[in-house]
Amino acid sequence: MFLGQVGKWLLGLLLLLNIRAFPTVWHFRIFRPLIYIWSSHFFFKIRAIFMSKSAKENAFERWIDSLTPVGASPFQSTLFRSWASIDESDYNFHLSNSSYAKALDAARFKLACHLLPKFIIAGGVIPLAGTHFHFVREIPILAKYEVRVTLGAWDEKWIYIVCRFVTKSQGKNKGSSTAKKNDAEISPSFFHAPVNSSGVSMSSTPVNSTTPVPPTDMDKLASKLLSTGEPDGATLHTITISQMCFKMGRITVPPAVVFAANGLCVPPVSTSDTPTPEPYSLTNPPPHWDKVKPIASTLHGGSIKKLQAFFRGGWKELPEDERWWQEAMGGAVEQQRRQNLQVLDMLRKGMEGAREMR
Protein backbone atom coordinates (compact mmCIF):
# COMPACT_ATOMS: atom_id res chain seq x y z
CA MET A 1 0.00 0.00 0.00
CA PHE A 2 2.74 2.41 1.03
CA LEU A 3 4.85 1.52 -2.01
CA GLY A 4 1.85 2.08 -4.24
CA GLN A 5 1.33 5.59 -2.87
CA VAL A 6 5.03 6.38 -3.26
CA GLY A 7 4.93 5.09 -6.83
CA LYS A 8 1.98 7.35 -7.65
CA TRP A 9 3.76 10.37 -6.19
CA LEU A 10 6.94 9.56 -8.11
CA LEU A 11 4.98 9.09 -11.33
CA GLY A 12 3.17 12.39 -10.77
CA LEU A 13 6.46 14.15 -10.07
CA LEU A 14 8.01 12.64 -13.20
CA LEU A 15 5.11 13.83 -15.34
CA LEU A 16 5.24 17.29 -13.78
CA LEU A 17 8.97 17.63 -14.42
CA ASN A 18 8.43 16.71 -18.07
CA ILE A 19 5.22 18.65 -18.64
CA ARG A 20 6.78 20.73 -21.42
CA ALA A 21 7.26 17.53 -23.43
CA PHE A 22 3.53 16.73 -23.38
CA PRO A 23 1.56 16.66 -26.66
CA THR A 24 0.47 20.11 -27.96
CA VAL A 25 2.69 21.97 -25.45
CA TRP A 26 5.29 22.62 -28.16
CA HIS A 27 2.54 23.84 -30.49
CA PHE A 28 1.25 26.22 -27.83
CA ARG A 29 4.74 27.65 -27.29
CA ILE A 30 5.20 28.15 -31.03
CA PHE A 31 1.80 29.62 -31.81
CA ARG A 32 1.37 31.69 -28.65
CA PRO A 33 1.87 35.02 -30.52
CA LEU A 34 -0.60 33.89 -33.18
CA ILE A 35 -3.06 32.73 -30.51
CA TYR A 36 -2.91 36.24 -29.09
CA ILE A 37 -3.81 37.67 -32.52
CA TRP A 38 -6.62 35.14 -33.00
CA SER A 39 -8.08 35.79 -29.54
CA SER A 40 -7.80 39.55 -30.06
CA HIS A 41 -9.66 39.18 -33.36
CA PHE A 42 -12.30 36.98 -31.73
CA PHE A 43 -13.04 39.53 -29.00
CA PHE A 44 -13.04 42.29 -31.60
CA LYS A 45 -15.78 40.48 -33.55
CA ILE A 46 -17.82 40.13 -30.36
CA ARG A 47 -17.52 43.85 -29.64
CA ALA A 48 -18.43 44.67 -33.25
CA ILE A 49 -21.65 42.62 -33.38
CA PHE A 50 -23.92 45.62 -32.94
CA MET A 51 -21.80 48.10 -34.91
CA SER A 52 -22.86 49.50 -38.25
CA LYS A 53 -20.95 48.39 -41.34
CA SER A 54 -18.94 51.61 -41.58
CA ALA A 55 -18.18 51.63 -37.86
CA LYS A 56 -17.12 47.99 -38.05
CA GLU A 57 -14.76 48.70 -40.95
CA ASN A 58 -13.20 51.61 -39.08
CA ALA A 59 -12.80 49.53 -35.93
CA PHE A 60 -11.27 46.65 -37.90
CA GLU A 61 -8.83 49.05 -39.53
CA ARG A 62 -7.76 50.37 -36.12
CA TRP A 63 -7.31 46.81 -34.86
CA ILE A 64 -5.10 45.86 -37.81
CA ASP A 65 -3.11 49.08 -37.42
CA SER A 66 -2.53 48.32 -33.74
CA LEU A 67 -0.68 45.15 -34.79
CA THR A 68 1.32 46.72 -37.62
CA PRO A 69 4.79 48.13 -36.75
CA VAL A 70 4.53 51.18 -39.01
CA GLY A 71 7.79 53.12 -39.01
CA ALA A 72 9.83 50.41 -37.28
CA SER A 73 13.26 49.36 -38.48
CA PRO A 74 13.56 45.89 -40.04
CA PHE A 75 16.57 45.38 -37.76
CA GLN A 76 14.45 45.78 -34.63
CA SER A 77 15.08 43.02 -32.08
CA THR A 78 12.51 40.74 -30.47
CA LEU A 79 12.98 38.99 -27.12
CA PHE A 80 11.93 35.42 -26.38
CA ARG A 81 12.29 34.13 -22.79
CA SER A 82 12.50 30.53 -21.67
CA TRP A 83 14.34 28.25 -19.23
CA ALA A 84 16.36 25.03 -19.40
CA SER A 85 13.78 22.53 -18.17
CA ILE A 86 14.68 18.98 -17.18
CA ASP A 87 13.18 17.41 -20.30
CA GLU A 88 15.24 19.76 -22.50
CA SER A 89 18.55 19.16 -20.70
CA ASP A 90 21.12 16.39 -21.19
CA TYR A 91 23.03 14.09 -18.82
CA ASN A 92 25.63 16.82 -18.29
CA PHE A 93 22.92 18.98 -16.68
CA HIS A 94 23.05 21.53 -19.51
CA LEU A 95 20.50 22.60 -22.08
CA SER A 96 20.76 19.90 -24.75
CA ASN A 97 22.12 20.99 -28.12
CA SER A 98 18.99 19.59 -29.75
CA SER A 99 16.81 21.86 -27.59
CA TYR A 100 18.22 25.04 -29.12
CA ALA A 101 16.37 24.36 -32.36
CA LYS A 102 13.18 23.85 -30.35
CA ALA A 103 13.52 27.29 -28.77
CA LEU A 104 14.41 28.85 -32.12
CA ASP A 105 11.08 27.79 -33.62
CA ALA A 106 9.20 29.85 -31.05
CA ALA A 107 11.64 32.78 -31.14
CA ARG A 108 11.57 33.15 -34.92
CA PHE A 109 7.79 32.85 -35.08
CA LYS A 110 7.46 35.58 -32.44
CA LEU A 111 9.64 37.87 -34.56
CA ALA A 112 7.46 37.16 -37.61
CA CYS A 113 4.22 37.93 -35.76
CA HIS A 114 5.62 41.17 -34.35
CA LEU A 115 7.20 42.53 -37.54
CA LEU A 116 5.05 40.99 -40.29
CA PRO A 117 1.42 40.73 -39.10
CA LYS A 118 -0.07 41.63 -42.50
CA PHE A 119 1.93 38.89 -44.21
CA ILE A 120 0.84 36.35 -41.57
CA ILE A 121 -2.83 37.41 -41.74
CA ALA A 122 -2.71 37.20 -45.56
CA GLY A 123 -1.69 33.54 -45.28
CA GLY A 124 2.03 33.85 -45.94
CA VAL A 125 4.48 31.28 -44.62
CA ILE A 126 8.20 31.48 -43.81
CA PRO A 127 9.90 28.13 -44.50
CA LEU A 128 13.29 27.34 -43.02
CA ALA A 129 16.16 26.43 -45.35
CA GLY A 130 18.85 25.88 -42.73
CA THR A 131 20.26 26.93 -39.37
CA HIS A 132 23.90 27.36 -38.38
CA PHE A 133 24.92 27.05 -34.71
CA HIS A 134 27.95 28.47 -32.93
CA PHE A 135 28.07 27.15 -29.36
CA VAL A 136 30.06 29.42 -27.04
CA ARG A 137 29.22 28.03 -23.59
CA GLU A 138 26.56 25.80 -22.06
CA ILE A 139 23.32 26.91 -20.40
CA PRO A 140 22.99 25.19 -16.98
CA ILE A 141 19.92 23.13 -16.21
CA LEU A 142 16.98 25.13 -14.74
CA ALA A 143 18.64 28.41 -15.76
CA LYS A 144 16.50 31.14 -17.30
CA TYR A 145 17.67 32.43 -20.66
CA GLU A 146 16.70 34.88 -23.38
CA VAL A 147 16.79 34.54 -27.14
CA ARG A 148 17.49 37.91 -28.75
CA VAL A 149 16.21 37.70 -32.32
CA THR A 150 17.31 40.14 -35.02
CA LEU A 151 16.93 40.23 -38.77
CA GLY A 152 20.53 40.18 -39.95
CA ALA A 153 20.23 40.71 -43.71
CA TRP A 154 18.35 39.71 -46.85
CA ASP A 155 18.74 39.51 -50.61
CA GLU A 156 16.19 39.03 -53.40
CA LYS A 157 15.10 35.68 -51.93
CA TRP A 158 16.68 34.79 -48.60
CA ILE A 159 16.51 36.38 -45.18
CA TYR A 160 19.07 35.70 -42.44
CA ILE A 161 17.85 35.77 -38.84
CA VAL A 162 20.46 36.08 -36.09
CA CYS A 163 19.55 34.71 -32.66
CA ARG A 164 21.66 35.12 -29.53
CA PHE A 165 21.01 32.88 -26.50
CA VAL A 166 21.99 34.83 -23.38
CA THR A 167 21.61 34.70 -19.63
CA LYS A 168 21.70 37.69 -17.34
CA SER A 169 25.05 37.96 -15.57
CA GLN A 170 25.14 37.93 -11.78
CA GLY A 171 27.71 40.69 -11.71
CA LYS A 172 27.61 43.42 -14.34
CA ASN A 173 31.34 44.10 -14.28
CA LYS A 174 32.17 40.42 -14.33
CA GLY A 175 29.93 39.86 -17.34
CA SER A 176 31.45 42.78 -19.19
CA SER A 177 35.03 41.65 -18.55
CA THR A 178 34.20 38.10 -19.60
CA ALA A 179 32.60 39.37 -22.77
CA LYS A 180 35.66 41.43 -23.65
CA LYS A 181 37.91 38.45 -23.04
CA ASN A 182 35.90 36.20 -25.32
CA ASP A 183 35.70 38.87 -28.00
CA ALA A 184 39.47 38.80 -28.16
CA GLU A 185 39.61 34.99 -28.20
CA ILE A 186 37.12 34.46 -31.03
CA SER A 187 38.63 35.77 -34.22
CA PRO A 188 36.56 36.03 -37.39
CA SER A 189 39.48 34.76 -39.47
CA PHE A 190 37.22 32.51 -41.54
CA PHE A 191 35.69 35.67 -43.01
CA HIS A 192 38.99 36.60 -44.66
CA ALA A 193 38.06 34.69 -47.79
CA PRO A 194 37.68 36.89 -50.89
CA VAL A 195 34.24 38.23 -51.64
CA ASN A 196 32.73 38.07 -55.10
CA SER A 197 32.92 41.61 -56.41
CA SER A 198 29.66 41.20 -58.28
CA GLY A 199 27.81 40.75 -55.01
CA VAL A 200 24.22 39.62 -55.35
CA SER A 201 22.46 40.08 -58.67
CA MET A 202 19.39 42.19 -58.23
CA SER A 203 18.22 42.82 -61.79
CA SER A 204 14.43 43.10 -61.96
CA THR A 205 14.20 42.43 -58.22
CA PRO A 206 13.10 44.75 -55.41
CA VAL A 207 16.53 45.20 -53.80
CA ASN A 208 19.48 47.06 -55.25
CA SER A 209 22.75 45.28 -56.05
CA THR A 210 25.39 45.02 -53.37
CA THR A 211 28.71 46.77 -53.18
CA PRO A 212 31.70 44.85 -51.76
CA VAL A 213 32.82 45.85 -48.29
CA PRO A 214 36.56 46.50 -47.84
CA PRO A 215 38.40 43.69 -45.96
CA THR A 216 39.05 45.86 -42.91
CA ASP A 217 35.39 46.79 -42.68
CA MET A 218 34.48 43.13 -43.22
CA ASP A 219 36.56 42.13 -40.20
CA LYS A 220 34.87 44.76 -38.04
CA LEU A 221 31.43 43.70 -39.20
CA ALA A 222 32.17 40.01 -38.65
CA SER A 223 33.41 40.80 -35.14
CA LYS A 224 30.21 42.71 -34.45
CA LEU A 225 27.92 39.95 -35.73
CA LEU A 226 29.78 37.19 -33.87
CA SER A 227 30.66 39.25 -30.81
CA THR A 228 30.32 37.34 -27.56
CA GLY A 229 29.76 40.54 -25.61
CA GLU A 230 26.32 41.97 -24.92
CA PRO A 231 25.73 45.70 -24.33
CA ASP A 232 23.99 45.00 -21.01
CA GLY A 233 26.70 42.62 -19.78
CA ALA A 234 24.62 39.48 -20.33
CA THR A 235 26.47 36.22 -20.92
CA LEU A 236 26.30 34.88 -24.47
CA HIS A 237 25.90 31.11 -24.81
CA THR A 238 25.07 30.44 -28.45
CA ILE A 239 24.71 32.33 -31.74
CA THR A 240 22.52 30.93 -34.51
CA ILE A 241 21.91 32.12 -38.05
CA SER A 242 18.77 30.89 -39.81
CA GLN A 243 18.25 31.09 -43.56
CA MET A 244 14.58 31.50 -44.49
CA CYS A 245 12.35 32.87 -47.24
CA PHE A 246 8.81 34.20 -47.70
CA LYS A 247 6.19 32.14 -49.52
CA MET A 248 2.64 32.95 -50.59
CA GLY A 249 1.43 29.55 -51.71
CA ARG A 250 4.20 28.27 -53.96
CA ILE A 251 5.37 31.77 -54.90
CA THR A 252 8.51 33.23 -53.32
CA VAL A 253 7.99 36.83 -52.21
CA PRO A 254 10.98 39.23 -52.15
CA PRO A 255 11.80 40.24 -48.55
CA ALA A 256 11.86 43.98 -49.32
CA VAL A 257 8.26 43.79 -50.58
CA VAL A 258 7.10 41.99 -47.42
CA PHE A 259 8.91 44.37 -45.08
CA ALA A 260 7.64 47.57 -46.70
CA ALA A 261 4.06 46.24 -46.93
CA ASN A 262 4.15 45.78 -43.15
CA GLY A 263 5.28 49.35 -42.50
CA LEU A 264 8.98 48.69 -41.94
CA CYS A 265 11.17 51.41 -43.37
CA VAL A 266 14.25 53.57 -43.15
CA PRO A 267 14.07 56.25 -40.41
CA PRO A 268 13.42 59.88 -41.40
CA VAL A 269 16.49 61.84 -42.46
CA SER A 270 17.43 64.94 -40.49
CA THR A 271 17.70 68.23 -42.36
CA SER A 272 18.66 71.78 -41.50
CA ASP A 273 14.98 72.57 -40.93
CA THR A 274 14.32 69.43 -38.86
CA PRO A 275 17.56 68.38 -37.13
CA THR A 276 15.62 65.87 -34.98
CA PRO A 277 12.74 64.65 -37.16
CA GLU A 278 9.76 62.92 -35.61
CA PRO A 279 10.05 59.12 -35.93
CA TYR A 280 7.66 57.42 -38.33
CA SER A 281 4.56 55.86 -36.78
CA LEU A 282 0.85 55.40 -37.44
CA THR A 283 0.28 59.07 -36.64
CA ASN A 284 3.31 60.09 -38.71
CA PRO A 285 3.46 57.39 -41.42
CA PRO A 286 6.39 57.00 -43.82
CA PRO A 287 5.94 58.28 -47.40
CA HIS A 288 5.39 54.81 -48.87
CA TRP A 289 2.48 53.99 -46.54
CA ASP A 290 0.00 55.79 -48.80
CA LYS A 291 0.91 53.26 -51.51
CA VAL A 292 0.23 50.31 -49.20
CA LYS A 293 -3.24 51.43 -48.12
CA PRO A 294 -5.00 50.88 -51.50
CA ILE A 295 -3.72 47.30 -51.37
CA ALA A 296 -4.19 46.31 -47.73
CA SER A 297 -6.65 48.79 -46.18
CA THR A 298 -10.38 48.10 -46.54
CA LEU A 299 -11.11 51.80 -45.97
CA HIS A 300 -8.99 52.69 -49.01
CA GLY A 301 -10.22 50.01 -51.39
CA GLY A 302 -7.83 47.29 -50.32
CA SER A 303 -8.51 43.78 -49.05
CA ILE A 304 -6.82 40.56 -47.98
CA LYS A 305 -7.31 39.20 -51.51
CA LYS A 306 -5.60 42.24 -53.05
CA LEU A 307 -2.73 41.89 -50.60
CA GLN A 308 -2.38 38.20 -51.45
CA ALA A 309 -2.39 38.98 -55.18
CA PHE A 310 0.26 41.64 -54.64
CA PHE A 311 2.49 39.20 -52.77
CA ARG A 312 1.94 36.51 -55.40
CA GLY A 313 3.45 38.68 -58.11
CA GLY A 314 1.45 41.88 -58.37
CA TRP A 315 4.55 43.83 -57.35
CA LYS A 316 6.18 42.85 -60.67
CA GLU A 317 3.60 44.87 -62.59
CA LEU A 318 4.80 48.17 -61.15
CA PRO A 319 7.40 50.09 -63.19
CA GLU A 320 10.86 50.46 -61.68
CA ASP A 321 10.30 54.12 -60.80
CA GLU A 322 7.08 53.27 -58.89
CA ARG A 323 8.44 50.51 -56.69
CA TRP A 324 7.85 52.17 -53.35
CA TRP A 325 9.46 49.37 -51.32
CA GLN A 326 12.86 50.32 -52.71
CA GLU A 327 12.54 53.78 -51.17
CA ALA A 328 11.23 52.33 -47.91
CA MET A 329 14.20 49.94 -47.66
CA GLY A 330 16.78 52.46 -48.89
CA GLY A 331 19.18 54.81 -47.13
CA ALA A 332 20.70 53.60 -43.87
CA VAL A 333 18.68 50.36 -43.98
CA GLU A 334 20.09 49.44 -47.40
CA GLN A 335 23.61 50.29 -46.27
CA GLN A 336 23.37 48.07 -43.21
CA ARG A 337 21.74 45.30 -45.24
CA ARG A 338 24.61 45.31 -47.75
CA GLN A 339 27.26 45.20 -45.06
CA ASN A 340 25.59 42.41 -43.09
CA LEU A 341 24.87 40.39 -46.22
CA GLN A 342 28.54 40.34 -47.22
CA VAL A 343 29.20 38.37 -44.02
CA LEU A 344 26.06 36.26 -43.66
CA ASP A 345 25.82 35.19 -47.29
CA MET A 346 29.17 33.45 -46.90
CA LEU A 347 27.47 30.83 -44.75
CA ARG A 348 25.11 29.94 -47.58
CA LYS A 349 27.93 29.86 -50.12
CA GLY A 350 30.03 27.73 -47.79
CA MET A 351 27.26 25.17 -47.29
CA GLU A 352 26.54 25.06 -51.02
CA GLY A 353 30.24 24.47 -51.62
CA ALA A 354 30.27 21.68 -49.03
CA ARG A 355 27.57 19.85 -50.98
CA GLU A 356 30.06 19.39 -53.82
CA MET A 357 32.74 17.91 -51.54
CA ARG A 358 33.18 14.13 -51.70
pLDDT in tens, 197-227: 333 333 344 454 444 555 555 455 555 555 5
Percent of the chain with pLDDT over 70: 82
For residue 230, pLDDT over 90 is answered with: no
pLDDT at 54: 86
For residue 99, pLDDT over 60 is answered with: yes
pLDDT at 203: 37
pLDDT at 186: 37
- Higher-pLDDT residue of 211, 247: 247
Structural domains of the chain in order of their starting residue, each with its CATH number: 51-266+278-355 (3.10.129.10)
Question: pLDDT, tens digit, for every residue of 162-192?
Answer: 999 999 876 544 444 444 444 433 333 333 3
User: Residue 336 and residue 333: Cα distance in Å, rounded?
Assistant: 5
Question: pLDDT, tens digit, for every residue of 269-289?
Answer: 887 777 788 999 999 999 999
Which of 78-82, 174-178, 230-234 is the least confident region?
174-178
Q: What integer is the mean pLDDT of 282-306?
A: 93
What does each C-alpha distance from 29 to 76, 150, 157 come to in angstroms? 22, 19, 28
For the purposes of burial, counting CB atoms within 10 Å of the CB of 252, is it exposed (0-12), middle (13-18) or buried (19 or more)?
middle
pTM of the model: 0.80
For residue 125, pLDDT over 90 is answered with: yes
Which of 12-21, 91-100, 155-164 is the least confident region?
12-21
For residue 260, pLDDT over 90 is answered with: yes
